[in-house]
Structure 1
C-alpha cells in the first residue's frame, strides 16, 4: 500500500559536534516531495538542548535551518521531525528522520599540585601532579611551564589525564617556584580550549641560599687586666636560629663567650667575650656552621675577629686580623 503524504528522507548537519565557541550548525532537512508550512514547531529537540531558526527553501523539498545549542547544555541529542507539515495537496506529512548531535560546551580545566609548599637546600625537590579534567587530543607535556626551577621525569598515566614529574628549585635562589599551564593551550575532543582557572598553577616559596656570617666586631679592640671583657656583635647574611655561644670558636681557649642574644629577629647577635686571666697575645674568634636560617638551610663557618689580649692596651691594626701583643 502506497504511503500518502510527504515523508522525511534525511536530516543532516554541517557539524555534528558542537562546543562552547562553535555552538551552532546548519541543518538540512530533505523531504520526499515539496512541503509547505515547515518551521521550528515541526522539529523535535529533546531536553531543551537548543532551538532551530532561519528556515529557508528554494524548492520546498530541501530545507535548511540553523540549530543553536542552549547555553550550558552538554550531552547527546537526537533531532527529528513531527507530522505538522503538508504537501501542496494539503496531505499531512509523516513524522520521521533522525539527526544525532553531540554538544559539549564545557571547557576542559587543569589542576596543578606541588607536593611541597617550600623549597630549601634540605628540600630542593618536589613532585608535581598535573591533572586534566577530560581527555585531550593535543595536550603536550611542553605546555607545563616552570619558573624558578626545572622539571624532569614527566610521565603520563590515566590515558593522558595525569602527568607526574619532579621539580627542582634553582640553586642560590629565593625566586618562588611556579608550575602552570596557560589558558588556551589544549582542547578537548569537542574542540573547547582549556579555561583559565586558579587551579591551573601552583606556587611554592624558595630559599636555597645558605646563611653566612657577614662580620664579627667587638666594642673594644684591645683588652687588658682591668678591662678584660667586651661586647661582641655577630652579623649574619639573614636571620638565623640555633646560634649559641657554643658555635663561637676561640683559638687556643684564650677566653670564653657568654650567652648570645638577638633583638632584631636573628640577623644580629650579641654576647660578652671574657679574656682568660694571664693571657697575653692575640685571640681569634670565629663562627662554626651549627646555625640555620628559617628554611633550615645550614649555616657555614665564617668570619674572624682578632682581639688583642694584653695588659697594656694596643689598638688593632685590622678587625679581621689577630692583634699582636
Structure 2
C-alpha cells in the first residue's frame, strides 16, 4: 500500500488516503509433520497404528522417507487417510524376542514437497515407545519322577528303575540316588535317548530279605 498524504503532484496537490495492490499470498514455509503411535508399550502379539499428519497437502511422501530400526519391527505400506494429501497411516509390528526401551519412528522431510514446491527440512519424530516381546521365562528347579517296573520282588527277580526329569539336566549320577543298600543294589545308570531327561538302572534285591517298605529317592541338590 502507498500512503498518499505525503505525495504531491507538480501543482502542489497533496494526495489523500492510500492506494493498495491486489491481495497476494506467501508460502515459503517448508512442510512439517506430526508422527503419533497408538500404543507406547508393545508386547508379543501386539501391533500399533502409526499416523503421519502433515500441516498441509504434500507430495513425494513414501516409506523411503520413514526412518526406524528395522531390526526391532516393520511398518506396513502407507495408507492415505482422506483425500487431502495430509494424513497417512501404517501398521507397526514389533519383532519377536525384543526388549527395547527407546524407540522412535521419524520422517526425513527432505524429500517431501508442499503444493508450492517447498521442500521439507530436518525430521519429524514420534514420541518414544517401548518394545517387550521377549517370552517370559520362569526359572524353576529340576523335578524328577522315579518309577519302578515291579512293586513286588521275589527271589531271582529284578526291576527297572526309571528316572524321568522335567527338563534336560546335568550332574545326575548314582551318588544322587538314595536307597537302603542292605536290601538291594542298583546297576550303573543308562541314559535313555539323547535329550538328557531320562535314565534307567536295574535294581536287584538282596537274598534273604523280607521288607514291606522300600523306596528309591533322588537328592536333587546336586542336579
TM bucket (normalised to shorter chain) is: 0.5 to 0.7
- Structure 1 counterpart of 2:126: 201
Residues 1:173 and 1:136: Cα distance change in structure 2 (over 3 Å):
same
Q: CA deviation at 1:321?
A: 5.4
CA contact (8 A) 1:107 1:195 kept: no
2:44 to 106, 117, 121: 121
Q: CA deviation at 1:146?
A: 3.0
- Structure 1 counterpart of 2:89: 164
Residues 1:204 and 1:320: Cα distance change in structure 2 (over 3 Å):
same
How does 1:1-325 map onto structure 2 within 5 Å? Answer: 80-83=1-4, 84-93=6-15, 95-104=18-27, 108-123=31-46, 125-147=47-69, 148-158=72-82, 159-175=84-100, 177-182=103-108, 184-189=110-115, 191=118, 193=120, 200-211=125-136, 233=141, 250-251=144-145, 254=147, 281-287=161-167, 303-304=168-169, 309-311=177-179, 312=181, 320=196, 322-325=198-201
Q: CA deviation at 1:314?
A: 8.9
Cα deviation 1:209-234 (Å, max 9, x = unaligned): 335688x8xxxxxxxxxxxxxxxx36
Cα deviation 1:220-263 (Å, max 9, x = unaligned): xxxxxxxxxxxxx36xxxxxxxxxxxxx6x45x64xxxxxxxxx
Alignment partners' CA distance in 1, 2:91 and 2:26 = 37
Q: CA deviation at 1:149?
A: 1.5
- Which TM-score applies when normalising by structure 1? 0.41
Alignment partners' CA distance in 2, 1:116 and 1:315 = 58
Q: CA deviation at 1:98?
A: 1.0
Cα deviation 1:113-163 (Å, max 9, x = unaligned): 22222333332x222222122222443443222322111132102312211
RCO comparison, higher one (Cα < 8 Å, 6+): 2
* Secondary structure of the corresponding residue to residue 104 of structure 2: strand
List alignment gaps of at least 5 residues for structure 1: 1-79, 217-232, 235-247, 255-277, 288-302
Tell me the matched-pair count: 174
Query: Larger deviation: 98-107 or 128-137?
Result: 98-107
**What RMSD over aligned residues (CA atoms) do the two structures have, in Å?**
4.2
List alignment gaps of at least 5 residues for structure 2: 148-152, 154-158, 202-223
CA contact (8 A) 2:165 2:198 kept: no
* Secondary structure of the corresponding residue to residue 153 of structure 1: coil
Residues 1:280 and 1:174: Cα distance change in structure 2 (over 3 Å):
same
